Structure 1
């Protein structure tokens, strides 16, 4: 454990290079880094446009257009940085190939620390082949472990925000909470905002270990049922959809029946993620929530309460 304000002493003099800065998580990380006094160098692809660019500049970041296919160009962008933070999102060409070039650039520029784009459940405890997207992160991190740089992966479970619709667990129409296996299995949830805030603190903390594990709330399916009922003022019931094995088989069948695509999050990928969580294998422990005590963790109930009244 570090001192309560371990990152604060370095914030005013730290330069952080942020890749994947135009994504939802990336913009939030940039904002929290700037709020902590860091100099933020946001790397974006050549010719990148969109509202995120304005958001980055408004947050105080310096936007740097760079060719992500060029280690030389990335190296120039990394010179003088104290940490490279990746919030890149994609498949093999991004998570393995682009991040490898970014890593090579960080090493060449003599950046002391690197935070990869993990932000997920604990894939180190899962068997290879159980989750495509997490296998890619595992593969990149094996390369990262061999590089002469201090690395820290941030593991945060599932983004709590997904429970408001994208994750097929809390069904607001029929007022049901769907689950597989045990309704008492502890599950890890952290909001995107809390994850970004923690990542910013970790980026400014030179003493971080190889892995940091956080959960805004550890909740079972029964806890989600209570949270949904409290947030909406309407009673939710549990709906058991079968064993964990059934969910695993269903994800494999769905993958086999769907045409191949470059979609990062097809339906079967979400099913793989839920299957992983319901097995209990990737449960985060021990938790590092107290490492930066200034962070206030947002509960599942608070997130569910943010849904528009018409959707509750």
Structure 2
């Protein structure tokens, strides 16, 4: 029985949401929280009965203290490669030393397993962490994959949604034919699934969940059904054009990371190589959604109903702020 859950990175957006989701469960576990700065925790997390341990991602002694007594440790780190790979390896080692049998890795992304190192390069650390978990005796890795974050999709990161100046309309920009599927899940949904996986001792290996799956034409139709306007569509070029552009951007401005990073994500998502539900397969076969029927998948329509067109692009800035309230 899972009675104590550790959350590393608990003061961040996803960490707060995961903590709140765990505390909403019918039999909420005791939480052990690992953070760099305890002052960044909201009062509902920083007070008893929860235990807060402070330390850096490379602090081996502090991570072992944090892991001790946990039935499972969840990592919600988000940051540079060194944090995502070496920081997680420190946590996995701490779990092994403290006798924690399961580790929920900070994946929460597309299915990167079919790729080779260097292709979708931001996910190379996740590939290495999965391999590290597989080789670590006594610690079972759990890898939750959810596609892209819905909240990020509507932000300026991908450049897919461009609101107009009135705040009452806008356009959708896309690479490819427009028939390629976007697989997305909201931060809130992801946290709910992570919480269920954490307390489910049978959840091991790769667990795939999905909020919605639509192409750009279907997303435009969803906007039409929820709002009083239909967004215009702006094609940006073929997937081959996207591939050429993203490499040209990186070659010409290697330090300008965010000028090309979103293109890399788009290319490897839209070309089908990282889909959670590959062509010819069924969602029922590939996804774990039905394992936790109390969690309602948030569709594009559901998400649109939560925000006005003007609010969409900035919605992710407030993620986690109202958690626990």
Is the shorter-chain TM-score for this pair beyond 0.5, marking a shared fold? Answer: yes
Match runs of 1:156-171 below 5 Å = 156-166=146-156, 167-171=158-162
78 and 33 in structure 1: CA distance in 2 versus 1, 3 angstrom threshold: same
Following TM superposition, by how much is the alpha carbon of 1:48 offset from its aligned partner in structure 2, in angstroms?
Answer: 4.3
Following TM superposition, by how much is the alpha carbon of 1:78 offset from its aligned partner in structure 2, in angstroms?
Answer: 0.9
Which residue number corresponds to residue 3 of structure 1? none
Which residue number corresponds to residue 32 of structure 2? 41
Instruction: Find the aligned partners of 1:243 and 1:59 in 2 and give their Cα distance.
Output: 55
Report how many residues are paired. 296
Contact 2:103 2:141 in 1 (8 A): yes
Which residue number corresponds to residue 66 of structure 1? 55
Match runs of 1:244-255 below 5 Å = 244-255=239-250
Structure 1: which 4+ aligned runs deviate by more than 6 Å?
A: none
Instruction: Find the aligned partners of 1:215 and 1:99 in 2 and give their Cα distance.
Output: 24
Contact 1:154 1:211 in 2 (8 A): yes
Contact 2:38 2:52 in 1 (8 A): no
Check if 1:138 corresponds to 2:130. Answer: no
Contact 1:121 1:282 in 2 (8 A): yes
Following TM superposition, by how much is the alpha carbon of 1:96 offset from its aligned partner in structure 2, in angstroms?
Answer: 0.9
Instruction: Find the aligned partners of 2:250 and 2:178 in 1 and give their Cα distance.
Output: 26
Unaligned runs of 5+ in 1: 1-9
CA RMSD, Structure 1 to Structure 2 (Å): 2.1
Contact 1:164 1:307 in 2 (8 A): no
2:274 to 256, 275, 282: 282
Instruction: Find the aligned partners of 2:122 and 2:109 in 1 and give their Cα distance.
Output: 10
Contact 2:150 2:185 in 1 (8 A): yes
Following TM superposition, by how much is the alpha carbon of 1:122 offset from its aligned partner in structure 2, in angstroms?
Answer: 0.5
Instruction: Find the aligned partners of 1:241 and 1:225 in 2 and give their Cα distance.
Output: 16
Q: In terms of mean alpha carbon deviation, does 105-114 or 75-84 score higher?
A: 75-84
Following TM superposition, by how much is the alpha carbon of 1:59 offset from its aligned partner in structure 2, in angstroms?
Answer: 10
310 and 180 in structure 1: CA distance in 2 versus 1, 3 angstrom threshold: closer
Unaligned runs of 5+ in 2: 278-285, 313-325
Query: What secondary structure is seen at the aligned counterpart in 2 of 1:125?
Result: coil
Residue-by-residue CA offset, 1:218-255 (whole Å, 9 max, x unaligned): 11111111112223210123222111121122222222
Match runs of 1:1-312 below 5 Å = 10=1, 14-36=3-25, 37-45=28-36, 47-50=37-40, 52-54=41-43, 56-57=45-46, 61-148=50-137, 149-166=139-156, 167-173=158-164, 175-258=170-253, 260=255, 266-285=258-277, 286-308=286-308, 310=310
Following TM superposition, by how much is the alpha carbon of 1:67 offset from its aligned partner in structure 2, in angstroms?
Answer: 4.0
311 and 197 in structure 1: CA distance in 2 versus 1, 3 angstrom threshold: closer
